[in-house]
Amino acid sequence: MSIKRKLVFTVSLLCLMSVALSASASTDSVLSRWRKTVKIMDEDNMGFVEFTVTYYSAEYIQALVQKEAKANLWTKDEEENYKYQLLKTLQLERNIPIFIEINNYGSALRMAPFGDQVELWINGKSYSPVDYDKRFNFKLTGKREGFVYFPRYNEETGQPLLAKAKTIKFSIDGGVSPITMGRRPSIDFLWDVYRDNPDQFFTGKAAERLELDRLIIRLGNLKEQRGDIQKQLDELDAELARIQSRIDELQSK
């Protein structure tokens, strides 16, 4: 290889490495923007409690899928399968998922019932979880992590709660830890969500598999309801037959 060709090859290789590193840095930047940490030391600076909370925005999910696909050299089908499993876990079609990681190196946290210790603020109104990882109800020393889910839609109107939201705030009651008790009324995490659009993920193969899952569950529920109604109809028919038989008996006398 001539010196000129070697030089061209080296420059091209450096350019490709530069682009790859830039893309990786951009993905990490996106992921860190939606993943926030609050660490609080005790008064002796010996122990601490640390809360890391992740809001699964559309941007975060997209960056996470891309990062995993690149790291594992997945095919398109493998990437779609990961996306399907992720969306299934997140329950985005009906809930707002928040992932919580707790590192506690102080006195034990006692958070039961955990649903009473956290809330999500949207447009000035607070919402309680509809579900959460029940391990958070147990005494905690060391590390624990899990999801907590808040409603995505207004129960009465069916309208999406995030439709007009610019920011949201997730709060953990400061009384959950002896370290924060009396020092902080709450541990808060804020995100700008006005550009977020998680609905963009409900297209493609992963979305079709999620819809299929939902329809199969819906079909099972409807069959069960039909069975219950049919049982009631059979009981009514039997009662009607008994009454008609008695009427016929009385009229024949």
Q: Are residues 139 and 224 in the same domain?
A: no
Q: Are residues 132 and 157 in the same domain?
A: yes
Q: Are residues 167 and 136 in the same domain?
A: yes
Kindly state whether residue 244 falls inside one of the protein's structural domains.
no
What backbone phi and psi angles, to 5 degrees, belong to 138? Answer: -95, 155
Q: What is the pTM of this model?
A: 0.74
Q: Are residues 165 and 232 in the same domain?
A: no
Q: Are residues 31 and 156 in the same domain?
A: yes
What are the pLDDT tens digits along the chain (253 aa)?
566 666 665 655 555 555 455 556 688 898 999 999 999 999 888 899 999 999 999 899 989 999 999 999 999 999 989 988 998 899 888 899 999 999 999 889 999 999 999 999 999 999 999 999 999 999 999 999 999 999 998 888 888 899 889 999 999 999 999 999 988 899 999 999 988 887 777 777 777 888 788 788 889 989 999 999 999 999 999 999 999 999 999 999 8
Q: Are residues 36 and 159 in the same domain?
A: yes
Both structure tokens of 191: 């995100």
Q: Are residues 117 and 231 in the same domain?
A: no
pLDDT for the residue 20: 52
What backbone phi and psi angles, to 5 degrees, belong to 197? Answer: -145, 80
What backbone phi and psi angles, to 5 degrees, belong to 191? Answer: -140, 145
Q: Are residues 159 and 216 in the same domain?
A: no
Kindly state whether residue 2 falls inside one of the protein's structural domains.
no
Kindly state whether residue 71 falls inside one of the protein's structural domains.
yes
Distance CA 60, CA 151 (A): 19
Q: Are residues 190 and 231 in the same domain?
A: no
Q: Are residues 145 and 223 in the same domain?
A: no
Kindly state whether residue 4 falls inside one of the protein's structural domains.
no
Residues making up the chain, counted from first to last = 253
SS3 content of the chain, % helix, strand, coil (to 5): 50, 25, 25
Structural domain including 211 reads 203-239
Final residue of a structural domain among 197, 212, 228: 197
pLDDT for the residue 27: 87
pLDDT for the residue 11: 57
Kindly state whether residue 9 falls inside one of the protein's structural domains.
no
Cross-strand bridge partners of residue 143:
103
Q: Are residues 70 and 135 in the same domain?
A: yes
Distance CA 70, CA 20 (A): 10
Kindly state whether residue 251 falls inside one of the protein's structural domains.
no
What backbone phi and psi angles, to 5 degrees, belong to 121? Answer: -100, 125
Kindly state whether residue 12 falls inside one of the protein's structural domains.
no
Q: In the chain, how many domains are there?
A: 2
Kindly state whether residue 46 falls inside one of the protein's structural domains.
yes
Which residue has 């992720």 as its token pair? 86
Q: Are residues 185 and 76 in the same domain?
A: yes
